[in-house]
Amino acid sequence: MSGVTIAIDCMGGDFGPSVTVPAVGRVLNEYPDTIFRLFGNPAQIKEQLSHLKLSDHGNIRIVESTDDVLMIDPPALALKNKKNSSMRLALESVRDGKANACVSAGNTGALMAISRFVLKMLPGIDRPAIISAIPTLKNDHVYMLDLGANIDCDEHRLTQFAIMGDQLAKSIDQVNSPRVALLNIGSEDNKGSEKIRRAGEIISSLGFINYAGFIEGNEIFNGNHHVIVTDGFTGNNVLKTSEGFSHFLNKKIKDAFKKNLWTKFCGLLAKPVLSAFKHEVNPEKYNGACLMGLRGIVIKSHGGANVNATYYAIKEAIEQSRQKVPQRIREQLEAAKREVNSL
């Protein structure tokens, strides 16, 4: 049972209501007490609801928008000129207490800019960070941040990331003492830039964080940690490289089984194992990156997400709403300020 209200930017992403509305319908089957506020073109939304036989569902509200934030819109233009967009109105509903969280597959830069303007930052947080789960060999997944919002980060911002990631793991995964690590070029204390080394010193001084020290890139997927902290430039490259390698590996495996009759026969025998593997590492399950550090919950779905991937993004919004993640982060920041002079 969720008992929360989720604002959906129905017009965001590559497919709009044809994906967002069916995903809402699927979530309602699992969380029947969730209320949805659907922002966008009423005619398009109602058409999809009609197909799903949800036209008269009591938990669905439609809110008309007159602008669309396009994927090519510069963030400044979207912020200044698209005040009646589905994205802007959905975020304002979170600000005004009409929704607990917003889910959008729209323009990432615009979503970041409008979210900061509408929702504002939590006290002690300079800028939002993009955080998402990445599959691992153990513990199911690891949270990594930042994934592209902050290219250059000093020790204070990295410390803020550690606090936010730590609280997300505690809230969503129910881990009492998540292991938090800093991504570096070596595990020794003298490795990396001065900012990285200083961040390690500050984070290790915070008694409420289980700091695991520096780790290298080959340790990201081993599952020994719950949160990995890095700057946005590095994090985004890790994410995109991982996605590219996943596609590469999938293609190579398919090609290997298509070489001849014998390999095709082996492929048929291996199909159950390969299907289970594909399900386990399916990127759709990890869709839904959070813009951490805001006064409200904002979940960014992939622009090309299908119904299944959007379903997982909405589930993430529900779970973070139930756990009141922003409030927990605020409490951790206040605790950190009591332990160090300044973040």
Are 85 and 137 part of one and the same domain? Answer: no
134 and 150 assigned to the same domain:
yes
Residue 335 is assigned to a structural domain of this protein: no
Q: Say if residue 117 is in the same domain as residue 133.
A: no
Is the same domain home to 298 and 281?
A: no
Q: Are residue 134 and residue 174 in the same domain, yes or no?
A: yes
Residue 25, SS3 per DSSP? helix
Tens of pLDDT, residue by residue over 171-211, are 888 888 999 999 999 888 888 899 999 999 999 998 889 99
Q: Which domain holds residue 21?
A: 1-121+293-323
Whether 339 is covered by a domain: the verdict is no
The answer to whether residues 12 and 68 belong to one domain is yes
pLDDT of residue 127: 87
DSSP state of 24: H
The residue whose two tokens read 């946005």 is 232
CA distance 92 to 99: 9
The closest alpha carbon to 290, from 269, 312, 311, 316, belongs to: 316
**Is there a domain that residue 142 lies in?**
yes
Give me the long-range contacts of 50-53 (CB less than 8 A, separation at least 24).
52/21, 52/22, 52/25
- Whichever domain contains 67, its CATH number is 3.40.718.10
Looking at 246, 269, 291, the residue that finishes a domain is 291
Q: What is the pLDDT of residue 341?
A: 53
Residue whose entry in the numeric block shows the structure tokens 């060999």: 137
165-182 burial, b at 16+ Cβ within 10 Å, e below that, comes to: bbbbbbbbbebeebbbbb
Query: 139 and 247: one domain?
Result: yes
Q: Are residues 239 and 309 in the same domain?
A: no
Instruction: Please tell me what DSSP assigns to residue 179.
Output: E
Predicted confidence at residue 22, as pLDDT, reads 96
Q: Are residues 189 and 251 in the same domain?
A: yes
Helix (H, G, I), strand (E, B) or coil at 120: coil
| Bridge partners of residue 300, in order along the sequence | 104, 289
Give residue 98's region: left, alpha or beta (phi > 0; psi -120 to 50). alpha
- Under DSSP, is residue 332 helix (H, G, I), strand (E, B) or coil? helix
pLDDT less than 70: residues of the chain: 1-2, 139, 277-281, 337-343
DSSP helix, strand, coil percent of the chain (3-state; round to 5): 50, 15, 35
Residues 139 and 170 in one domain: yes
Q: Which two tokens stand for residue 1?
A: 């049972």
The answer to whether the CB of 217 falls within 8 A of the CB of 234 is: no
Residue 319 belongs to a domain? yes
152 in any annotated domain: yes
Rg, C-alpha atoms of the chain? 21
- Judged on CB neighbours under 10 Å (0-12, 13-18, 19+), 130 is buried
In a domain, 330, yes or no: no
Residue 79 resides in a domain: yes
Number of domains forming the structure of the chain: 2
> What pTM value is reported for the model?
0.88
Instruction: Quick: pLDDT tens for 67-119.
Output: 999 889 899 999 999 999 999 999 999 999 999 999 999 999 999 999 999 99
| Same domain assignment for residues 137 and 283 | yes
What pLDDT does 247 receive?
A: 80
Residue 341 located in a structural domain: no
Same domain, 107 and 230: no
Model pLDDT, residue 343: 46
